[in-house]
Amino acid sequence: MMRRLVVAVALLMAVVMASVCIPRRAEAVDNLVYIIPAAVGGVVVVVLIIAILMANRSDDNELPLVQQRRLLEPEKPSAVRLAPHCPPSPGGIALVCW
């Protein structure tokens, strides 16, 4: 009697394990509600990963130079000045500066 019970339990366990381990048949999803967001999300993830890998993580060594340059520049009066007294800028000569 005990052997039959052990064989029955082993057979039941084998059937359960076979049904769990054997995958179900694949079904194609033809619903754009799922496909489009998944594609957009995949592109965003790829772009973010590439941006993180390509980011320049070196120390910014120019910052102390900028601070030293600001310390070396003379103080400018805080008044409105006309074009001859304005420093040249990359955009051209300013008519009024302060």
At which residue do the structure tokens 């973010």 appear?
Answer: 48
Q: List, in order, residues 6 or more apart from 95 with CB less than 8 Å away.
A: 82, 83, 86
* Interatomic CA distance for residues 35 and 58, integer angstroms: 39
* Interatomic CA distance for residues 95 and 83, integer angstroms: 4
Q: List, in order, residues 6 or more apart from 94 with CB less than 8 Å away.
A: 83, 86
* Interatomic CA distance for residues 2 and 10, integer angstroms: 12
pLDDT tens per residue, range 47-84? 998 888 887 666 555 566 666 666 666 666 677 888 78
pLDDT tens per residue, range 19-34? 888 877 877 767 788 8
